[in-house]
Structure 1
Amino acid sequence: MTSSSSRCPCCSGLTFEECCGPVHRGERAAATAEQLMRSRFSAFALGDADHLLRSWHRSTRPDRLELDPDVRWYRLDVLATSAGGPFDATGAVEFEAFHRPTRRGDGEPGSLRELSRFVRGDEGWQYVDGDLRG
């Protein structure tokens, strides 16, 4: 995990406690689709599969999720958002997430670019699915 004074892995510029920490712990719901997407990136960066599963819509959520310990997610660029605000029922966030191998891992640095779709219901914002981009 990260300390309360550490910068949030989602690259918002805030500390983890000011940003994604309360969402991960369930103390606060994500107010927007982008905020949920940022919390999900932070979960990948921190290895928090439980948060990823909790924030995944039941219609598309896998039964279990195994994160690759040899991949380190270190930077998130939000490229565009569509809807996904506090009064919207759906939203989309396009982002690029950058990774590199851990010290013990093989592989090359790279990135993943995705247009993610979200819905807001009784459980707050949830990730539905996404389309990989170029």
Structure 2
Amino acid sequence: MTCPCDPNNTYENCCSIAHKNIKAVKTAHQLMRSRYSAFVMGNIDYLQRSHHSTQRPSRKEALEIEQWSKTVKWLELEIVQTTLGVEKDFMGTVEFKAFYIENNQEEVLHEHSRFCKENGHWVYVDAI
């Protein structure tokens, strides 16, 4: 199976590694890609685990996100730019575009996301 975040890579060699062990994620960029794949696959547990503890959606909100993610057809992820967020950093940002189809209309989620390390691994904080 190809990886949702990169059709030139297999899921097993890409985001599966992060989904199985979040501590294996070395950069904010890698976390962003693994979160996109989790949205595509409806992996709400990983989305919750990879969200900063102070910003994490409630269980009800998480279920709504999961339901929504399953109603759209995800098309592709485009990373626009990253700032910091490498293994030695504590914080970083990733600007991305996630393309999808909802109600027969192509949409794009364009976000500049902030990431930091919490408990020794990268997590999503918020959109800036």
TM over 0.5, shorter chain = yes
1:27 & 1:98 partners in 2: Cα distance?
A: 25
Q: Select the residue among 4, 7, 14 that pairs with 2:9.
A: 14
1:122 & 1:27 partners in 2: Cα distance?
A: 11
Cα offset for 1:28? 5.1
Q: Contact 1:83 / 1:92 at 8 angstroms: preserved in 2?
A: yes
Corresponding residue of 1:97 = 98
Answer yes or no: is 1:23 the counterpart of 2:31: no
Corresponding residue of 1:80 = 81
Corresponding residue of 2:108 = 111
Q: Select the residue among 99, 109, 121 that pairs with 1:124.
A: 121
5+ residue gaps, structure 2: none
Cα offset for 1:122? 2.0
Cα offset for 1:60? 0.6
RMSD: 1.5
Corresponding residue of 2:30 = 35
| Structure with more helix by fraction | 2
Q: Select the residue among 48, 51, 54 that pairs with 1:59.
A: 54
TM-score norm. by structure 2 comes to 0.89
Cα offset for 1:75? 0.2
Helix, strand or coil for the counterpart of 2:26?
coil
TM-score norm. by structure 1 comes to 0.85
Deviations 1:94-124 (A, max 9, x none): 00000013xxxx3411111000000013240
5+ residue gaps, structure 1: 1-5
Q: Could you tell which deviates more after superposition, 106-115 or 22-31?
A: 22-31
Helix, strand or coil for the counterpart of 1:56?
coil
Q: Contact 1:22 / 1:28 at 8 angstroms: preserved in 2?
A: no
Q: Which runs of 4+ in 1 moved over 2 A?
A: none
Cα offset for 1:27? 6.8
Q: Contact 2:3 / 2:9 at 8 angstroms: preserved in 1?
A: yes
| Structure with more strand by fraction | 2
Helix, strand or coil for the counterpart of 1:109?
strand
1:127 & 1:13 partners in 2: Cα distance?
A: 25
